Amino acid sequence: MTHQPSRDIERKKPGARMIRRVAPARAGRDERSARDKFLAASLDLFAERNFASVTIKDIAKALNVNTALIYYYFDSKTDLFRATIEYAVAGAFENVRALDDRSADAPAIIAAWLANHVNKYAEIHRFVKIALDFRGAHEGDPDIASTIESFYVEERKLLSRVIREGIRQGMFKPVDPNRMAQFISTYLDGCMVRSVILPDFDLKGAVRDLHQRVLEMLGYAGKTGGKLQRR
């Protein structure tokens, strides 16, 4: 049975941006939960197929809801696509941010970010697939391009700051933090793209090799951090 929107929806005129009425405060958590369900479903569909072939009706059918409910949260399919990428980016950084907030040492945070690409392979794999799809279908949309770029910008900022802190504490030898961060980011990106192209690619082994190489380049002789988990 399909569900109808729980609140009234008004439009200024056909095709105009929706005006949403204010809901009770307790509805906030329910709205976020519903929105995340839409984003998770759309992430699966956009990654499995491509932007052009996925419709709002497809996503509504996957969730067993009325299309009007999706249009309640998103103005268009492009708006949903952009929000889906934001959702994927936020999920990719979730575990590492938590570790960083607990002031873990630099080697542990670097190890966690590398392991993240194995442990959260499915999520990052989907992000890479829809980002590649964007390059073919939506290169002219600056908002979507900026959202995709935000993943790499945040990754480089995280890595360069952590490397800089490791140097300051004497754990790493002096290197250019920005160039090292770019090296790690580029290598990881290559691994993820190759895993899209070659399903049998040994991602775990490639990331493990990168981890060892990075430690050597940083001159770090201590513990190498947690083991990479098998996906």
pLDDT at 116 over 70: yes
The 8 Å CB, 24+ separation contacts for 111-116 are 111/211, 111/224, 111/225, 111/226, 112/225, 112/226, 113/155, 113/158, 113/159, 113/184, 114/184, 114/188, 114/207, 114/210, 114/211, 114/214, 114/228, 115/207, 115/225, 115/226, 115/227, 115/228, 115/229, 116/92
Which range is least confidently modeled, 24-28, 52-56, 129-133? 24-28
- What is the band of 96 on the pLDDT scale with cuts at 50, 70, 90? confident
pLDDT digits (tens, 9 = 90+) for 18-46: 434 434 444 466 677 778 888 888 888 88
pLDDT at 12 over 60: no
